[in-house]
Amino acid sequence: MDFCWAAFLCLCLLASQSRTAEASQITLKWMEKMEAITRGRSSPPHADLVHGLESVLFNASFSGHNLTLQTHTIQALAFKLNCNFAGLSLSSAALEKVPQAQPQHAMQFPAELTRNACRTRSGKLRLICIYFSSSRFFQEDINSSLLNNYVLGAQLSHGHVSNLSEPVNISFWHNQSLGLGWIYMTCHWERVGSSRKSYWGAWSPEGCHTQRPSPSQVLCRCSHLTYFAVLMRLSQTPIPAELLAPLTYISLVGCSISIVASLLTVLLHLQARKQSDSVTRIHMNLHASVLLLNIAFLLSPVLATPPVPGAACVMLAATLHFALLSCLTWMAIEGFNLYLLLGRVYNIYIRRYVLKLCAVGWGVPAFLVLLLLAAKSSVYGPFKIQVSDSRGNSTVFKTTSICWVQNSWVHSILVMGYGGLTSLFNLVVLAWALRVLNKLRAREKAPGARACRDTVTVLGLTVLLGSTWGLAFFSFSVFLLPQLFLFTIFNSLYGFFLFLWFCSQRCRSEAEAEAEMEVFTSSQMVQ
């Protein structure tokens, strides 16, 4: 009898081992299939490949409490859990078949992980962890690269895990020499599309906080389960968290004042448009572009929040880019017009001069933005601004979003490059104008009065030509902190400064007209 029971147990054990071996073979074949399909793939990766691996692991039969399988670029683990789950810590240093020469990683799961699932379902649960040492299984980010090319994923059977009060900790170690320009951002993939044709969405830092416990470790503390990675973005130094509130307040107040000032200037011009000349009309076009820029800038953070449709953020980002390019173009037109006024005293008549300038000032930016939208609308959308918060020995990186240009090449060429050329041109014109004014002052019999008047003129020309926008090129090293405040103050109030210039010019022209009238009246009385 004992022999029969022993034989029965051996048969059961052999059957269990056979099922485990069969499940292992099926899972390994699926992992090898994924590697073969994604090798050399140029189109966006198909999310069903990863979803299929998840399904195979959830349904695989194996003896013991866990199953571990590995191919060249994928390592898969499955764990049997119950409602008495007390937490789990996984480290690549303790896993089998992981070369120690590779960068290390670890995941820690809290006891709360199975709580919601056990409320609706009692019995066995399964936790799967999938480690990818290649980024080709996922959507690439054109502005970033993955640290170590690692993506670590975890899923729990019977429901999606989210809103954990005690976070899941994912640690990445590295031995890379990272400069000050590399910004760490913890991200996860959002799933979109139908079950038949689904692709990975864009990286998002929502629900995760990034910390740097040591120079060689990145710690991701996330409130949900999905696929995690550390994105490295070559960018400017992150804004300190304690400066975000005052900078936001200054921008809000300054842009609001500029909107009112620009709107008032345009209305005053429309009231007396019959008396305006080409110079005044150029000023009004600059005011209109600044007005549009300030309105779009204030709306940008509002429409970047998740409840707002993505198309609205894309259109606002395109509008903001168009307004900035128009503003920069009209600044360059102001410099060109100043050169004509001071350099070519005679023969400066150009047929339909203002109309041609409008075609350049509004048409060129519109053409560039529409071309980008037609080529790839994903150039515009929510742009993440890095904010660093130092806490003790670690640094937490957070993000705030605005609707802006997402492509780094477009930002470099059609924002920084375009603005740099405009600033350089206007600085040359300003230096030349100062030289001309200096020569005129040397001929003046009353140099004191002339010097005072020239000082006001130079300050006005500096504002008119947008010289303060050149501060954008000093956002590094020791210049970062003063540059942030100076750039925010001067350029948020740019419309207000233009309003003051408009008022001073109008008062000056009215005073000159009254003086000429008095001279004319006196000459008539003498006659």
* Phi and psi angles of residue 386, each rounded to the nearest 5 degrees, phi first: -75, 135
What region, left, alpha or beta, does residue 40 occupy, with left being phi > 0 and alpha being psi -120 to 50 degrees?
Answer: left
| 8 A C-beta contact, residue 300 and residue 406 | no
Q: Please give the model's pTM, rounded to 2 decimal places.
A: 0.64
Q: What angle do CA 395, 397, 399 make, to 5 degrees?
A: 160
| 8 A C-beta contact, residue 126 and residue 78 | yes
CA dihedral 256, 257, 258, 261 (to 10 degrees): 130
* Residue type at 363 in one-letter notation: G
Q: What is the pLDDT of residue 13?
A: 35
Q: What is the pLDDT of residue 501?
A: 82
| 8 A C-beta contact, residue 200 and residue 47 | yes
Neighbours of 411 (CB within 10 A): 18
Q: What is the pLDDT of residue 190?
A: 56
Q: What is the pLDDT of residue 95?
A: 63
The residue length of the chain stands at 527
pLDDT by 10s per residue, the chain, length 527: 444 433 333 334 334 444 455 556 767 776 776 666 666 555 555 667 788 888 888 888 887 788 888 888 888 889 988 888 888 998 886 665 545 456 688 999 998 888 888 877 666 788 999 888 877 777 666 556 778 888 888 989 877 788 888 999 999 888 765 543 455 556 666 554 444 445 566 677 777 888 878 778 888 888 888 888 888 765 556 677 788 889 999 999 999 999 999 999 888 887 766 556 788 888 899 999 999 999 999 999 988 877 777 789 899 999 999 999 999 999 999 888 888 887 765 556 678 888 999 999 999 999 999 999 998 888 898 887 777 776 655 566 677 888 999 888 898 899 999 999 998 998 888 888 888 877 776 766 555 555 556 566 666 677 777 778 877 777 666 667 788 888 899 899 999 988 888 888 777 777 766 666 666 566 656 55
Q: Which tokens hold the place of 444?
A: 């003046």
* CATH topology (fold) of 19-234: Chondroitinase Ac; Chain A, domain 3 (2.60.220)
Q: What is the pLDDT of residue 196?
A: 42
Q: Return d(Cα 476, Cα 483) in angstroms, integer.
A: 9
For tokens 């150039």, what's the residue? 379
CA dihedral 141, 145, 146, 149 (to 10 degrees): 110
| 8 A C-beta contact, residue 75 and residue 94 | no
Nearest Cα to Cα of residue 228 among 328, 106, 100, 334: 106
| Domain 241-509: CATH superfamily, name plus number | Rhodopsin 7-helix transmembrane proteins (1.20.1070.10)
Cα 173–chain centre separation:
25
Q: What is the pLDDT of residue 194?
A: 40
Q: What is the pLDDT of residue 56?
A: 83
Q: Return d(Cα 466, Cα 297) in angstroms, integer.
A: 18
Q: What is the pLDDT of residue 372?
A: 93
Nearest Cα to Cα of residue 403 among 274, 337, 512, 313: 313
Q: What is the pLDDT of residue 297?
A: 95
| 8 A C-beta contact, residue 79 and residue 126 | yes
Domain assignments of the chain as residue spans, ordered by start: 19-234, 241-509
Cα dist. 336→205, 269, 426, 430, 525 in Å? 45, 22, 8, 11, 43
| 8 A C-beta contact, residue 59 and residue 102 | no
